[in-house]
Chains A and B, each alone.
Chain A
Amino acid sequence: MNTIDHHWQRFTLKQKLSRYAVYLVLVIAFVQSIQSVEVIPEFLLDAPEQMADMFSRMWPIDFAYYPVAVHDAMIETLNIATLGTLITLIFAIPLALMNASNIVNSAWCHWISRFFLVSSRSVNSLVWALLFVSIFGPGVIAGVLAIAFRSIGFVGKLLGEAIEEVNMGSIEALKATGASWMSILLKGYWPQVLPAFFSIVLFRWDINVRESAVLGLVGAGGIGVVLDDSMNLFQWDRVAMSLLAIFVIVILAEIVVVNIRKRLL
């Protein structure tokens, strides 16, 4: 027994090797990408000048443009975000129930719901918007559906996890009284999931406000349309006005959501 020579290590050799392998792969990927990516160095050197030029064109911000076009577009953006979040719930709640292993106990249902949730999350909201613009034509309806379909994955996944975490005691008590399936859901699960539900929905709404501000770039309504128009006409003072409006709304939405969530939890 010589405990004195014992060498203490935080990680096993296998852990160390696999960590170094990850670092090595990252470095190789990084070097490889830097070498083959097409970057024109002159553009990077030129960037500060160009940026100064852009901000000088933005400067006096065209506040007179706000009542003309920006206000209505901002209201539309907020409506797209809110309505999109509400429509998401129609799809996300059934999928979340299907995905929760304590409600539906069938591997098939899990796979189906997971497929829908993952594909909703993998496609970016702008890509969803492109798809819906080509279906419904340019306009608000494409924006609402894009927001709704993009959010299904997020809301459904988090809500499913919240349902899986409920305390089964009260559910069993309800089952013992012979309560129907619907009343178990409404009186057993729902009150326990309620705070998580509202906090997930509010969180997603906050994200959706940001996302709906850019959907207009592909023609799906909202402030993005105004932004795109003024950019195509090189009216940078109006672009600055739209950006300022987006900035204020995003900050306000975040403050509202943070305050409500603080009260909920």
Chain B
Amino acid sequence: MAGINTPKNRDNPFKQNWFVTATWLLVICYVLYSFNAMGLSWERFSDGLGHASDLLGRMIPPNFSRWSLLMSGLIESLEIAIISSICGIFISLFLGLFAARNMMPSWISTPVRTLIALCRTFHPVIIAILFVKSVGFGALAGILTLIVASIGFIAKLFAEAIEEISLKQVEAIRATGAGFTSIILFSVMPQVFSRFIGFSTYQLDSNLRNSTMVGIVGAGGLGGTLFSAFQRFDYDFVAAILIVIIALIMFGEFLSNIVRRIFR
């Protein structure tokens, strides 16, 4: 009897993972609890859907008749984004270098890292509120806010990029008797520069987005125009502003793709 010996009880190849199942159960329990805790209900939601169609009806067609107001807000947003990005990139170039633990002694890198972490912790809007209090309403508060936000992002990633470089090239340059500045310029920067440009163009994009938002708390730019249009229920003007913002951001992404291609 040369029968094929089939094992009687094979294991299921796809075993039930009890940990994962328990996690999903927990998630479901959480959703039920949070719906209860926050008083969310279906009536509230379906009620809102009626308003939504009303709102959309009032948004269409978008009203571009106040385009001069729109353009002045847009230009201010652009200016805020450009100034804050360039200042932020320039400052983070140094801060990132100082925060890299393989380049600097710990008594320099630790305080700089703490500073960068502080810049990252708060949402730009909260920083904007504090700056509006200290430098008054207007574009300056927006610029300072976005500089802080840029430092938090670029300097952190740049420091991490520097910590990952290969030290062989640094040693080779050092062996020629190069000074500190030359070591940075000719062995560190060539290794990290394209990544730095990547972070910077990303931050330029995100500053463009945020510059249309900081106006909501009075820090200049298109956000202020948008917020007051919302408060006066000018929904057709709101729609126009939103279209302009989306177009601006897409244009920004297009530009930063070009820059990234050039510096690759």
A residues adjacent to B (C-beta < 8 A) = 10, 15, 18-19, 22, 26, 29-30, 33-34, 36-40, 43-44, 46-47, 50-51, 54, 75-76, 79-80, 82-83, 86, 118-119, 122-124, 126-127, 130-131, 134-137, 140-141, 144, 187, 210-211, 213-214, 217-218, 221, 227, 231, 243, 246-247, 250-251
Kindly specify which of B3-11, B60-68, B108-116, B124-132 makes contact with the partner chain.
B124-132
Kindly specify which of B37-45, B99-107, B175-183 makes contact with the partner chain.
B37-45
Q: Evaluate contact between B86 and A43: CB separation under 8 angstroms.
A: no
Residues of B within 8 A of A76 (CB): 38
Q: Evaluate contact between B213 and A82: CB separation under 8 angstroms.
A: no
Q: Decide yes or no whether B30 CB sits under 8 A from chain A.
A: yes
Known: A135-B51, A136-B51. A36 touches B79 (CB 8 A): yes
Interface of A, secondary structure class, is helix
Known: A82-B34, A141-B48. A37 touches B213 (CB 8 A): no
Q: How far is the CB of B83 from chain A (nearest CB, A)?
A: 5
Q: Evaluate contact between B216 and A218: CB separation under 8 angstroms.
A: yes
Residues of A within 8 A of B39 (CB): 140
Residues of A within 8 A of B133 (CB): 50, 54
Q: B interface, how many residues as a size bin?
A: 35 or more
Q: Evaluate contact between A123 and B242: CB separation under 8 angstroms.
A: yes
- Bound-state Cα–Cα, A50 to B245, Å: 33
Residue of A nearest to B72 (CB): A38
- Bound-state Cα–Cα, A58 to B93, Å: 33
Apart from the given pairs A83-B34, A217-B125, 18 other A-B contacts in the complex at a CB distance below 8 Å? A15-B262, A18-B262, A19-B262, A22-B262, A26-B86, A33-B82, A38-B139, A44-B135, A47-B134, A123-B246, A135-B48, A135-B55, A136-B47, A141-B40, A213-B123, A218-B216, A243-B126, A250-B122
Most chain B CB within 10 A, of A46, A131, A134, A140, is at A134
